């Protein structure tokens, strides 16, 4: 994501960008009015207070309350990360044969060091708890639980990674969505790319000039207003299942980034996992789980399948929908 160009790198890390650069349509607007309109999790008075205390920067510099914005300028909000965020550290081996091990990744838990995360990562926990020789071959989103294949040496990891790139690994996910599907089975093939019209810089969506993507969905069970889905991604685009589910009108429970109301994500981005965010999304994390994985073992040449049932949080949530 964009970083404000302030001179002190430590201070720069304490600021988070707010949305996209100012468009020509909004050029000339007062900063406080613009902020209150586009980021209503604070009132106009609340934004004025933060402008006066230099907690909002424009292109890395403080501005007055009455400052008129110019096209292309980037706003950023002071939001320092004082401690590393809490994660679920409960990894454990599901299956092992030779130099290949399938490991359960709980959620929330990021795969690698990134942003505020240093030690609270899957990669770090695997090395400290399962051995320094083990490393993940592929990744899951921070809030996705389930199976991650790990290899104990470079040769094995490279062969598994090649199989993944050539789509020779069969992957199956379980997901719980808001809403009910009109179809029992369907295929989403919408191409995925950057959503340039979104206030959220990192957001991707189904767009005409996106990369090809294909996800097969099947309804497993339905509740009163939720659906338990099986998802089989045939390509590996970032956030593919979450995007295709939301595009089909079935956004996943707990998913903030692809929630129909972008203000939910923006509130979480600034204030964290508030009660309001949880209420709007339906859960503390995105209910997506890597349920099954089939692959050719690099050492014995045989096809192996590993399965991992839904974790307790997903199972308990779904039991509540069927009650």
Which helix (H) or strand (E) is 162 found in, with range? helix 154-165
Q: Which fold has domain 92-322?
A: Pseudouridine synthase (3.30.2350)
Sorted by where each begins, the domain ranges of the chain are 9-78, 92-322
Indicate if the pLDDT at residue 23 is higher than 90. no
Confidence of residue 67 (pLDDT cuts 50, 70, 90): very high
Indicate if the pLDDT at residue 151 is higher than 70. yes
End-to-end Cα, the chain, rounded Å: 42
Burial of 70 (0-12, 13-18, 19+ CB in 10 A): middle
Task: Kindly state the average pLDDT of the residues 7-24.
Answer: 69
pLDDT digits (tens, 9 = 90+) for 210-233: 999 999 999 999 998 999 999 999
How much is the pLDDT for 212?
Answer: 96
pLDDT digits (tens, 9 = 90+) for 90-148: 999 999 999 999 999 999 999 987 767 778 899 999 999 999 999 999 999 999 999 99
Which helix (H) or strand (E) is 217 found in, with range? strand 215-222
Confidence of residue 5 (pLDDT cuts 50, 70, 90): very low
Coil, strand or helix at 247: helix
Chain position carrying tokens 């957001």: 203
Tell me the C-alpha to C-alpha distance, in Å, between residue 144 and each of 23, 28, 29, 128, 184. 34, 42, 40, 21, 24
pTM: 0.82
How much is the pLDDT for 9?
Answer: 36
Closest CA relative to residue 247, chosen from 231, 224, 225: 231
**Helices 44-52 and 31-38, interaxial angle, to 10°?**
130
Beta strands in 116-166 (DSSP E): 135-136, 144-151
Average pLDDT, the chain: 90
For 9-78, which CATH superfamily applies? Answer: RNA-binding S4 domain (3.10.290.10)
Coil, strand or helix at 96: strand
d(CA 199, CA 194): 12
How much is the pLDDT for 1?
Answer: 31
Please say whether the beta carbons of 148 and 105 come within 8 A.
Answer: yes
Indicate if the pLDDT at residue 161 is higher than 80. yes
Largest CA distance in the chain: 69
Task: Kindly state the average pLDDT of the residues 151-173.
Answer: 89
Tell me the C-alpha to C-alpha distance, in Å, between residue 39 and each of 1, 24, 32, 52. 18, 18, 10, 17
Please say whether the beta carbons of 84 and 261 come within 8 A.
Answer: no
Task: Kindly state the average pLDDT of the residues 37-62.
Answer: 91
Confidence of residue 309 (pLDDT cuts 50, 70, 90): very high
> Sign of the CA dihedral 196, 18, 237, 282?
negative
Closest CA relative to residue 87, chosen from 114, 135, 127, 119: 119
Domains 9-78 and 92-322 are alike in CATH topology: no
How much is the pLDDT for 115?
Answer: 64
Task: Kindly state the average pLDDT of the residues 53-57.
Answer: 94
């Amino acid at each position: 994501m964009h970083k404000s160009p302030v001179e002190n790198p430590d201070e720069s890390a304490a600021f988070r960008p707010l949305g996209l650069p100012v468009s020509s349509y909004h050029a000339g607007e007062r900063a406080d009015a613009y902020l209150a309109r586009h980021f209503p999790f604070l009132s106009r008075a609340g934004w004025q207070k933060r402008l006066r205390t230099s907690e909002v920067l424009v292109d890395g510099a403080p501005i007055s309350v009455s400052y008129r914005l110019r096209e292309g300028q980037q706003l950023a909000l002071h939001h320092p990360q004082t401690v590393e965020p809490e994660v679920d550290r409960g990894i454990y081996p599901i299956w092992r044969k030779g130099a290949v091990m399938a490991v359960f990744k709980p959620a929330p838990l990021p795969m690698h060091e990134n942003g505020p995360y240093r030690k609270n990562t899957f990669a770090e926990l695997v090395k400290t708890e399962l051995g320094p020789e083990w490393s993940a071959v592929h990744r899951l989103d921070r809030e996705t639980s389930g199976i991650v294949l790990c290899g104990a040496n470079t040769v094995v990891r490279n062969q598994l990674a090649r199989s993944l790139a050539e789509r020779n690994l069969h992957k199956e996910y379980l997901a719980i969505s808001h809403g009910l599907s009109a179809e029992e089975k369907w295929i989403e093939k919408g191409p995925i790319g950057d959503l340039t019209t979104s206030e959220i810089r990192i957001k991707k969506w189904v767009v005409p000039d996106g990369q090809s993507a294909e996800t097969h969905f099947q309804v497993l069970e339905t509740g009163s207003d939720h659906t338990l889905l099986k998802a089989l991604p045939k390509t590996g685009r970032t956030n593919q299942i979450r995007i295709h589910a939301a595009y089909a009108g079935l956004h996943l429970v707990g998913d903030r980034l692809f929630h129909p109301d972008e203000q939910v994500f923006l509130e979480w981005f600034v204030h964290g996992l508030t009660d309001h965010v949880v209420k709007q999304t339906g859960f503390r994390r995105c209910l997506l789980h890597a349920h099954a994985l089939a692959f050719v073992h690099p050492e014995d040449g045989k096809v192996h399948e590993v399965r991992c049932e839904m974790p307790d949080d997903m199972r308990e949530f779904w039991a509540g929908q069927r009650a």
